[in-house]
Amino acid sequence: QQPVQSPQAVILREGEDAVINCSSSKALYSVHWYRQKHGEAPVFLMILLKGGEQKGHDKISASFNEKKQQSSLYLTASQLSYSGTYFCGTVSGTYKYIFGTGTRLKVLA
């Protein structure tokens, strides 16, 4: 079963912050985050590994809590270029890959 993301959609003004959550009903060993612009391929943002780590670059960061089977993506001081659909993803079972349900983010000027 695919990870569930929340919220499904969010609209922000430039400079505002957002949090996107990814929850799995199965154990997570690693989590990937991607951003996809309309009509384009997903672009990798970051990977988080088991160990409750937190990562980030620029104004985008993420956390991973394997006990809660959750990951969160934090976007601070959002820019117009952050608009798109965000997906979490993880390896499930024997190397099968599953994407989350997706979160549409729109940043307005």
Partner 1 sequence: EAQVTQNPRYLITVTGKKLTVTCSQNMNHEYMSWYRQDPGLGLRQIYYSMNVEVTDKGDVPEGYKVSRKEKRNFPLILESPSPNQTSLYFCASSSFGGVYQETQYFGPGTRLLVL
The residues of the shown chain that bind partner 1, judged by CB under 8 A, are: 2, 29-30, 32, 34, 39-44, 47, 49, 87, 89, 91, 94-102
- When the beta carbons of 49 and 108 are compared against partner 1, the nearer one is 49
CA dihedral angle for residue 49, residue 95, residue 85, residue 15, rounded to 10 degrees: 10
Look up residue 42 and give its two tokens: 């997903």
Neighbours of 3 (CB within 10 A): 24
CB of 54 to partner 1, least distance (A): 17
- When the beta carbons of 13 and 40 are compared against partner 1, the nearer one is 40
Q: Is there a cis peptide before residue 42, judged by omega within 30 degrees of 0?
A: no
CB of 15 to partner 1, least distance (A): 29
